[in-house]
Amino acid sequence: MDLGKMAAKPIEMKVGDQMFKVSPITVGDLADFEQYIKQIRLNQFLETAKNVGMKDEMKMEMISRMLNRPFTNDDFSTELSTMSGIRYMVWRGIVKNHPKITLDDVSKIEDLNEVMEVINAISAIGRIAENPSVTMEEKAP
């Protein structure tokens, strides 16, 4: 077990007019992200199926395929490069220390530079955790 990763600590950042503690992303966060994306895809499919009048048998077959299809590294990469994916990961990094913040609250951040700073901080925490002797400044992208 990598003790450096276990020791990764949240960092404080100002977003808008508020200070937040931002935590590193964990395997659990990625598993939750997978479920989040699968739910979005399922909802989109159900809406489309309803609009085109798809028969129930075909809907059930398609839903079964969607739910049983593995979520690949390519899926993660693709979804994490979308604004929806970025928003979700920013929220996951913040919500651990600020449980009342919602995904919708993160959507209201107006300055995209601040969003990218949070993403960079989350990444930096992970890089520092891999090598605890390195400082934030040395690991900044």
Residue 71 predicted with pLDDT over 70: yes
- Work out the pLDDT band at 119, boundaries 50, 70, 90: confident
Residue 23 predicted with pLDDT over 90: no
Write out the E strands in the chain. Answer: 11-15, 18-22
Region 82-88: mean pLDDT is: 88
User: Cα separations (Å) of 39 from 42, 46, 84, 129?
Assistant: 5, 10, 13, 31
CA dist 135 and 131 (Å) reads 9
